[in-house]
Amino acid sequence: MDDMFTPNEPIVQKLRIIIRFSVRCLAVLMTLVIVWGVVDVAWEIYQKLRTPPVMLMSINDILATFGAFMAVLIAIEIFINITIYLRDDIIHVKIVMATALMAIARKVIILDFDIITPDYIFATAALVFSMSIGYWLVVRYADTRTVLFNQVEKCFDNPDECDIEDLDKKL
């Protein structure tokens, strides 16, 4: 029976080619979004500085500008996710979580505390806290597992030089 997850399967190879082409199209489109975002930020700053009082921005204008900057930075992070996917053919959880944290930070920066309810603030705080803990766990344990995998890999390459007892202690 043919296995769809076998890389040698012809249909799977064709589907992977289609997916990689689609991801490349997404990278081009994201580049356009980034350029348009930068132009929009520059235009907004120009418009805000032109209106009276000239060369002064209110706090709301500054916060809106920060939000626009963060939107462009999030688009750049998504572009980086796309290019890393093209290079490694896997999704890196650490980078995706960092992008999500940046999106949450953007939302927090542009919050208007005059209109939102306390429930919304608490929910946002819980989301920031949980995502931060998740990101910390991914960063902390992803590096540990990589080191252990490299040590185990060395044992497979040179079994005579492998110290199994030392490896068991680390696991």
Q: Per residue in 6-20, pLDDT tens? A: 567 888 889 989 999
- Average pLDDT over the chain reads 83
Tell me, what's the pLDDT at 1? 42
Q: Per residue in 100-132, pLDDT tens? A: 999 998 889 888 888 999 999 999 999 999 999
Mean pLDDT of 84-112: 85
Tell me, what's the pLDDT at 140? 85
* DSSP tally for the chain: helices H, then strands E: 5, 0
CA dihedral over 15, 17, 19, 21, signed as positive or negative = negative
How far, in Å, CA of 17 to CA of 3, rounded? 18
Residue type, 31: T
CA 155 to mean position of chain CA atoms? 34
Tell me, what's the pLDDT at 147? 44
